[in-house]
Structure 1
Amino acid sequence: MMPTSVDRATRSFWQNHWTGRAAPRGFDPSDRTLANYVNSRFHQYFRHTLGHRGGALIELGCAQSTWLPYFARQFGFRVTGLDYSEVGCARAREMLDDVGVVGDVVCADMFNPPDKFEAAFDAVVSFGLIEHFEDTAAAVTAAARFVAPGGRMLTFVPNMVGLPGAIQRYVDRAIFDIHVPLDVDALRSAHEASGLTVVDCHYFILANWHVVNASRLARGWASYPYRAAVAGSSRLAWALEKHLIKNGANRLTSPYVVCVADKNP
């Protein structure tokens, strides 16, 4: 995550957050099992929105990223990551090294990046970054500076205005409070204010209750009912969307909001 005077999280939060965390595993886009449903949906979406582009890609807020190796291997992007957490950046480099992918990870501020990053990337992506800043439009405008003319930006944020946000507030209010709840209209407006042309802005996937950060719940048997409910209801939603509903994304239950926006050539 990136620093600014209006960052709700703070740098120390992210340093502590990434310290001692187990490295996530990458995923196989060809795995069509239900357990891999969310990853498969992301892969399909990226094939549609980025698959024909190629060139240079930067992930803003790249701490411990599984996405940088993914974009390099699946789409041939030259990948760069930027984050202001030294621990998070070190983890991102490890993720690249572990799979033998060449990429650049820079520990810097999104609001004050290296000059060479100005309008330098054909694709700019972020996952759970923009919603941590009080001034959403200012954060999106800062991110848009990285986009080259004719380039595209994809912004994913958690859906804190629907049930995922309500559950997060109940399970861990402190985590909820470091997010600015954004719906489709707010995210679209912030991108339009940055000067980008919005291609699409919508809720994504029917449900995925794993998006709720429940790390403060007691481990072991005490938390088993909650974790079992999360796993079971998520899998049920994935099965429904995969076989019956097809596109059930909505304001109430969807885990993510995504905005796709282009910079004029």
Structure 2
Amino acid sequence: MVNLLTDRDFWVNYWTSKKGLSFRIPENYLFHKELEEIIDREKIKTAIELGGFPGYYAVFLRKYFKLDVTLLDYFIHPPVTDDLLETNALQAGDIHVIEADLFNHQERGKYDMVLSCGLIEHFNDTGDIIKKHVEFLKPGGTLFITLPNFRALNGWFQRKFDRENYEKHNIHCMDPELLASICKQEGLTVKEARYFGHFSLWLEQEKEKPVAVRLFKKATWIAGKVLTKIIPFNSKALSPYILIEAKKEL
């Protein structure tokens, strides 16, 4: 079985089709509270973002926490990353950028924190890709992984209205208990393994979808936001993300 559900051509086409990739990353960027807590508690000094081009979290961690940050992805388009840095009042050398295949790169055991946001669900073998994350961790380091929850209502939208994109994701891995068990098998202590976020919906290239689909999506989004504003809760059925935090013992 081929482990990777996408290839380099997919990501080249994906990113080159995107507009507005550079923006000022806000202090309250998604997962900011969780990351700030980890950085303060664990005294994080170094971090690597895996599969993170253009480098939003690498830039976020450098900009607001002054970490020594590395971005590693097997597709890097330097003008985009350079523009993102400049937009956020950073310079080209402020983050280390590595264009390499995660499975062949030999740099291991260097970082206080290893994070990826939206990476592991593009692989068939979830255990293998998490193992690669762990190999970058120092003893005592923290693993922080987030991924979309396509077992929620958002996943139904993906499957119904963007089947091609849906099939680029490993739906089976979108299970906090499964991910926690894999982390434990790798010798990590699991701190968090849970659904994250009260409600959200999105579609790739939404502007290209039929008007009826966009209106239906907007109406559902409003209804879900109202419901979870009145009764805020995280759940398998509605939460748009899954979050895993685990620690490699000394």
TM-score with structure 1 setting the length = 0.83
Tell me by how many angstroms 1:257 deviates: 0.6
Aligned residue for 2:47, secondary structure, equals strand
In structure 2, stretches of 5+ residues that fail to align are none
Q: Where does residue 202 of structure 1 map in the other structure?
A: 194
Q: Where does residue 26 of structure 1 map in the other structure?
A: 24
RMSD of aligned residue pairs (Cα, Å): 2.3
Aligned residue for 1:134, secondary structure, equals coil
Q: Where does residue 34 of structure 1 map in the other structure?
A: none
- Taking a change above 3 Å as real, the CA distance of residues 193 and 105 of structure 1, as seen in their structure-2 partners, is same
Aligned length: 243
Q: Given that residues 149 and 239 in structure 2 are in contact (C-alpha distance below 8 angstroms), is that contact kept between their aligned partners in structure 1?
A: yes
Give me the identity figure in percent. Answer: 26
Q: Where does residue 137 of structure 1 map in the other structure?
A: 127
Aligned residue for 1:150, secondary structure, equals strand
Aligned residue for 2:234, secondary structure, equals coil
Aligned residue for 1:50, secondary structure, equals helix
Give me the whole-angstrom Cα distance separating, in 1, the residues matched to 2:228 and 2:18: 27
Tell me by how many angstroms 1:107 deviates: 0.3
In structure 1, stretches of 5+ residues that fail to align are 31-38
Q: Given that residues 24 and 88 in structure 2 are in contact (C-alpha distance below 8 angstroms), is that contact kept between their aligned partners in structure 1?
A: no
Aligned residue for 1:112, secondary structure, equals coil
Q: Given that residues 51 and 75 in structure 1 are in contact (C-alpha distance below 8 angstroms), is that contact kept between their aligned partners in structure 2?
A: no
- Taking a change above 3 Å as real, the CA distance of residues 11 and 208 of structure 1, as seen in their structure-2 partners, is same
Tell me by how many angstroms 1:54 deviates: 2.7
Alignment of structure 1 residues 72-83 onto 2, 5 Å = 72-83=62-73
Aligned residue for 2:84, secondary structure, equals helix
Give me the whole-angstrom Cα distance separating, in 2, the residues matched to 1:135 and 1:221: 37
User: Could you tell me which of 69, 80, 87 is aligned with 1:98?
Assistant: 87
- Taking a change above 3 Å as real, the CA distance of residues 170 and 152 of structure 1, as seen in their structure-2 partners, is same
Give me the whole-angstrom Cα distance separating, in 2, the residues matched to 1:106 and 1:77: 17
Tell me by how many angstroms 1:75 deviates: 1.6
| 1:157 equivalenced with 2:157 (yes/no) | no
Amino acid at match of 1:195: G
Give me the whole-angstrom Cα distance separating, in 1, the residues matched to 2:207 and 2:159: 13
| 1:8 equivalenced with 2:5 (yes/no) | yes
Q: Given that residues 8 and 134 in structure 1 are in contact (C-alpha distance below 8 angstroms), is that contact kept between their aligned partners in structure 2?
A: yes
Q: Given that residues 64 and 90 in structure 1 are in contact (C-alpha distance below 8 angstroms), is that contact kept between their aligned partners in structure 2?
A: no
Tell me by how many angstroms 1:164 deviates: 1.8
Tell me by how many angstroms 1:264 deviates: 1.1
Aligned residue for 1:86, secondary structure, equals coil
Tell me by how many angstroms 1:162 deviates: 2.1
Give me the whole-angstrom Cα distance separating, in 2, the residues matched to 1:76 and 1:238: 34
Aligned residue for 1:199, secondary structure, equals strand
Q: Where does residue 229 of structure 2 map in the other structure?
A: 239
Give me the whole-angstrom Cα distance separating, in 1, the residues matched to 2:157 and 2:213: 15
Deviates more, 1:69-78 or 1:251-260: 69-78
